[in-house]
């Protein structure tokens, strides 16, 4: 099934895509509690970064999403999109002093921007090249994919972002129930964490850390846990040094797709 999220019957412009993408990154940062992750409240499990670092990173990405959206609309191959992403990553690292704040979001949101918010189009147009592309063998994600046999972010994109779709459905369900965007964001984050084989969690906590995160997220959603419970879980993640960064990227994608469809 095609998931075409263009507003009305017209495709969003690169400028609209850029605005929605940058707002989504700010919305992800503002979401709290996100167990183990940076927000405006605290650093989570990260001693080397805080909200100000993320804001510098977001500012450094200005122009990237409009450029990759225009390239995608022109039918650019994956190699062109990949180079735009690498250039954006370089600007991010320059702005943060070498700290990786948004590498995953640059990849996922960039591809979704190139497709105008159409998850299926990413898979159909660039899926094969995404799977064929080589990632850095010494990256944390690559090491965890090999060590634990998990799919990772490339597979998520090449298959049309199934976890993003799952979390987006949760976001919209909670929003319809509560009329509260902040609570919808928290629930979407937990919906991702419950099912995603997050290489960030595997890197910091191994298989036990991933299982703990998925189990707690599943319980939270099943029992409709409140924000006090989510905050307590946040502190448990910090104590265990767990950071579900993959689900942060999923949440940003959810907020982006929802904004494009508004």
- The better pLDDT of the pair 127, 137 is held by 127
Mean pLDDT of 44-61: 97
Q: Which two tokens stand for residue 217?
A: 């997220």
Between 65-69, 103-107, 129-133, the lowest mean confidence (pLDDT) is in: 129-133
Mean pLDDT of 199-215: 95
Q: Phi-psi category of 34—alpha, beta or left, where left has phi over 0 and alpha has psi -120 to 50?
A: beta
What integer best gives the mean pLDDT of the chain?
92
Is residue 4 included in any domain, yes or no? no
pLDDT classification of 6: cutoffs 50, 70, 90: very low
End-to-end C-alpha distance for the chain, whole angstroms: 20
pLDDT at 72: 98
Nearest-angstrom CA–CA distance, 245 and 220? 18
Nearest-angstrom CA–CA distance, 213 and 196? 10
Mean pLDDT of 164-172: 98
pLDDT at 3: 47
135 has pLDDT over 70: no
Mean pLDDT of 136-151: 61
pLDDT at 147: 63
Nearest-angstrom CA–CA distance, 83 and 123? 18
pLDDT at 10: 79
187 has pLDDT over 80: yes
Report the candidate in 169, 85, 163, 164 with the shortest Cα–Cα distance to residue 126: 85
In Å, the largest CA–CA distance within the chain is 48
Query: On the CB side of 50, how many CA atoms lie within 13 Å of its CA?
Result: 4
Nearest-angstrom CA–CA distance, 58 and 55? 5
pLDDT at 2: 45
pLDDT at 212: 97
Nearest-angstrom CA–CA distance, 1 and 158? 15
Mean pLDDT of 85-111: 97
Phi, psi of 138 (to 5 degrees): -95, 5
pLDDT classification of 133: cutoffs 50, 70, 90: confident
pLDDT at 41: 98
Cβ–Cβ < 8 Å for 105, 115: no
Q: Which domain covers residue 24, as residue numbers? A: 14-261
pLDDT at 5: 47
Is residue 3 included in any domain, yes or no? no
pLDDT at 93: 98
Residue reference for tokens 């319809």? 176
Is residue 200 included in any domain, yes or no? yes
Is residue 75 included in any domain, yes or no? yes
Mean pLDDT of 93-105: 97
Count of domains for the chain: 1
Residue 132, classified by CB atoms within 10 Å of its CB into exposed (0-12), middle (13-18) or buried (19+), is exposed
pLDDT classification of 152: cutoffs 50, 70, 90: confident
Q: pLDDT tens-digit profile of 40-51?
A: 999 999 999 999
Residue 127 makes CB contacts below 8 A (sequence gap 6+) with 157, 158, 159, 160
Is residue 237 included in any domain, yes or no? yes
Between 51-65, 125-139, 225-239, the lowest mean confidence (pLDDT) is in: 125-139
Mean pLDDT of 176-191: 97
Is residue 93 included in any domain, yes or no? yes
């Amino acid at each position: 099934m095609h998931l075409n999220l263009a507003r009305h019957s017209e495709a969003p412009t690169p400028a609209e895509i850029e605005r929605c993408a940058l707002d989504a990154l700010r919305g992800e940062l503002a979401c709290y509690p996100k167990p183990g992750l940076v927000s405006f409240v605290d650093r989570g499990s990260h001693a080397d970064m805080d909200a100000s670092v993320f804001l510098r990173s977001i500012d450094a990405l200005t122009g990237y999403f409009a450029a990759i959206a225009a390239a995608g609309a022109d039918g650019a191959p994956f190699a062109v999109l990949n180079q735009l992403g690498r250039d954006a990553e370089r600007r991010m690292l320059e702005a943060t002093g070498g700290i990786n704040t948004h590498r995953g979001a640059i990849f996922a949101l960039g591809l979704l921007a190139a497709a105008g918010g159409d998850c299926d189009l990413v898979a159909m147009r660039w899926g094969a090249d995404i799977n064929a592309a080589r990632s850095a063998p010494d990256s944390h994600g690559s090491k965890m994919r090999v060590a634990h046999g998990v799919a990772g972010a490339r597979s998520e994109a090449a298959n049309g972002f199934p976890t993003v779709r799952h979390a987006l459905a949760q976001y919209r369900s909670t929003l319809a129930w509560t009329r509260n965007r902040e609570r919808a964001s928290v629930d979407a984050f937990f919906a991702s964490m419950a099912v995603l084989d997050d290489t960030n969690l595997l890197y910091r906590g191994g298989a036990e850390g991933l299982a703990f995160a998925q189990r707690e997220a599943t319980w939270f959603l099943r029992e409709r846990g409140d924000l006090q419970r989510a905050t307590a879980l946040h502190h448990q993640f910090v104590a265990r040094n767990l950071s579900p960064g993959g689900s942060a990227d999923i949440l940003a994608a959810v907020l982006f797709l929802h904004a494009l469809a508004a």
